[in-house]
Amino acid sequence: MKRVRVAAVVLVFIAAIGQHVLGGAGSAKPSDEAGGVPKFEVDPAWPQKLPNNWVLGTSINVSIDRRDHVWIIHRYRLVPPENKERAAPPVLEFDENGKFLQAWGGPSDAYEWPDLEHSITVDYKDNVWIAGSNPVFPSGSKRSDDMLLKFTKSGKFISQFGRRDQSGGNKDTQNMKRPCEIFVFKKTSEAFVADGYGNRRLIVLDADTGAFKRMWGAFGNMPLDPAPGQAERHREGPGPQQFGTVHGVKVSNDGLVYVADRNNQRIQVFTLDGKYVNQVFIDRNESSDAGPAGGRTVSGVALSADKDQQFIYVADYSNSHVVVVRRKTLDVIDSFGTRSRKPGDFDGVHNLAVDSKGNLYTAESDPANRPQKFVFKGVSTPRR
């Protein structure tokens, strides 16, 4: 009997270690025992008033350039009918104080502008990358935004990677399929694309030529097209072996790739070559969203501005708050915000970005449809 008991204890211990290596079976709980947590204060006056009496549609995504200017892309076609003539151009640039600087973008014969805008990224060369993701245009026509667009910061067209309605699925290395977000990594001059709504992969392109470099799926697996009607939601264990919705991506200064697997409620971490490292679940099974696809609790990720990038900030769309994760350990240590329209709260936080001073900017899609700025107030003193 003693041998049986000892063996059982050993098996439990091994199982516990295995779950830690896999990123845990459930959501980590907030704790700051290992150190302090970052603190923020909302700036309710940001941004300042737009010119021309312009109004915004869905403020879907935000990016910060090397001058700490803030770039917003919004769905100008979704401005309510009574304000259509006042819709601002889809791309807007502000300084860090919220002063409007310029606006541009929209359809042209030179390129295929997305039917429904989804993301904006300003890279280290000041190039502006645009992606769309929804195949259903508000008018009812169905076209798939299977391309990326690249512009100068003044809106001059540079290049297009992929074509509309041309995706051949996860095996197609020339076209995306409703890509969600782009991150350009300076050290390798590569564009990491969260591809995304139609596909289930992270695809890497040469940032200058658009040439295919490599791709991978969840856990580093080969990404596969889902079967018709297929939707997975694992409430325990390591989660599905394929990505759900590859909704966001960031690459850290030390060369780790953080993928927001939105509807699987997790962040997965990889090396630059796609080797799986670890994962963490965010508010797993705590979302009010119904359906087999699960809650959209990891809509976007951003990394803190300190040299070591100590923290990951996570946009929890379903629960309307920002979650703070310690990057090295993947421990969930804090969260802030609740569901309301008051400044500092959220109602559909979709994406976020950080400037060089550590200030946090958020983009809320439906229903709040607004950008917000949170001023970084330092890191709290660790508990003793």
Q: Which H or E run includes 9?
A: helix 2-21
Closest CA to 267 of 281, 286, 251, 256: 281
Backbone angles phi, psi at 317, to 5 degrees: -65, -45
* Under 8 Å between Cβ of 290 and 275: no
3-state secondary structure of 314: strand
* Whole-number pLDDT of residue 89: 98
CA neighbor of 60 nearest in space, from 373, 374, 366: 366
pLDDT at position 146: 94
CA atoms within 13 A on the CB side of 184: 24
Nearest to 120 by CA among 353, 296, 359: 353
Q: How many Cβ atoms sit within 10 Å of the Cβ of residue 52? A: 9
Q: Which CATH topology does 43-379 take? A: Neuraminidase (2.120.10)
- Per-residue pLDDT of the chain (384 residues), as tens digits, is 444 444 443 433 333 334 333 333 344 455 555 689 999 999 999 999 999 999 999 999 999 999 999 999 999 999 999 999 999 999 999 999 999 999 999 999 999 999 999 999 999 999 999 999 877 665 566 789 999 999 999 999 999 999 999 999 999 999 999 999 999 999 999 999 999 899 999 999 999 999 999 999 999 999 999 876 556 667 789 999 999 999 999 999 999 999 999 989 999 999 999 999 999 999 987 765 554 445 889 999 999 999 999 999 999 999 999 999 999 999 999 999 999 999 999 999 999 999 999 999 999 988 888 999 999 999 997 654
| Nearest CA among 380, 381, 363 for reference residue 372 | 363
The set of residues, in sequence order, having a beta carbon less than 8 Å from that of 63 and lying 6+ positions away, is: 70, 71, 120, 121, 122, 353
How many other CB atoms are found less than 10 A from the CB of residue 206? 14
Residue 327: C-alpha distances to residues 55, 153, 267 (Å): 37, 31, 11
Q: Where are the domains of the chain?
A: 43-379
Report the pLDDT value the prediction gives residue 15, as an integer from 0 to 100: 39
User: Which residue, among 248, 369, 253, has the nearest Cα to 313 in the 3D structure?
Assistant: 248
pTM for this predicted structure: 0.90
- Give CA–CA dist 203/114, Å, rounded: 19
Other beta carbons within 10 angstroms of residue 198's beta carbon come to: 24
The answer for 160, left when phi > 0, alpha when psi is -120 to 50, beta otherwise, is beta
Please state, in angstroms and rounded to a whole number, the distance separating the CA atoms of residues 101 and 86. 18
3-class SS string, 352-383: EEECCCCCEEEEECCCCCEEEEEEEEEECCCC
- The pLDDT of residue 177: 94
Q: What is the Cα Rg of the chain in Å?
A: 21
What local confidence, expressed as pLDDT, does residue 196 receive? 86
CA–CA distance, 281 with 298 (Å, rounded to integer): 9
